[in-house]
Structure 1
Amino acid sequence: MKYDTKDIQDRVDRYISQFKEGYFSPLSLQARLTEEVGELAREINHRYGEKPKKSSENEKALEEELGDVIFVLTCFANSLNIDLSDAFEQSMSKIETRDRDRWTRKEGENNHESN
């Protein structure tokens, strides 16, 4: 099944809402997000970097680690009543404007701005 950001935010909210504790505080969520990004970085380093895994370490899929980052990021957004689609749109608008001429375009490629 494919999810858009609203689906993701709704599913995470349904899951978290079943627990009395609810969402963690923003500071705890930031710490957890940092932890998950670190786990992603570790997996990337093992796979593409110079640091091999110990024989006792299990192989983790990058998809699993990215999924963990998305889950915690979604918890963060939900806890602060931030719509991820709106946040993404703001970010892309900024990047498409700021970095419009920053990189060398491929020959024949048009500017792919949103509608």
Structure 2
Amino acid sequence: MTIEEAQKAVDKWIKEYGVRYFSELTNMAVLTEEVGEMAKIIARRYGEQSWKKDDPRAADNGKKALGDEMADVLWVLLCLANQTGVDLTEELRKNIEKKTLRDKDRHVNNEKLKQE
């Protein structure tokens, strides 16, 4: 699925099942909430925090839940793009171009990133 197809699929779902988009402000708050849920899993899976005994995500160290939370983040981001008229395919293309022009030598010459 391309980004364009994903934006259209989310829009179709909203129109068929979701009644309407939440407001942009509500979706921004939901996006923040979903990023927080993703961060919680990453903190426990890759960081120093441990799982609570009764957390069902602990069984597979959050592997299944992490993908689901990433999809939730993407879903809300696609909603925000749709309702604000942003073509994410085009914006990502322009963003990659910007980063390439700005940073083409920066990371290659960064001593902190050199492999040991």
TM surpasses 0.5: yes
Could you tell me which amino acid in structure 2 is paired with residue 81 of structure 1?
A: G
Q: Distance in 2 between matches of 1:78 and 1:96?
A: 26
The two structures have a TM-score, normalised by structure 2, of 0.82
Pick from 75, 86, 92: which aligns with 1:82?
A: 86
The counterpart of 1:68, out of the listed 69, 72, 82, is 72
3-state SS, counterpart of residue 29 of structure 1: helix
SS at match of 1:67: helix
TM-fit CA distance, 1:18 = 2.1
What is the aligned residue count? 103
TM-score (norm 1): 0.83
Unaligned runs of 5+ in 1: 106-115
What 5-or-longer segments of structure 2 have no aligned partner? 110-116
Select between 29-38 and 54-63 the one with higher mean Cα deviation: 54-63
Quote the residue 1:11 is aligned against.
9
What is the percentage of aligned positions where both structures have the same residue? 38
User: Which contiguous aligned blocks of 4+ residues in structure 1 show a shift greater than 3 angstroms?
Assistant: none
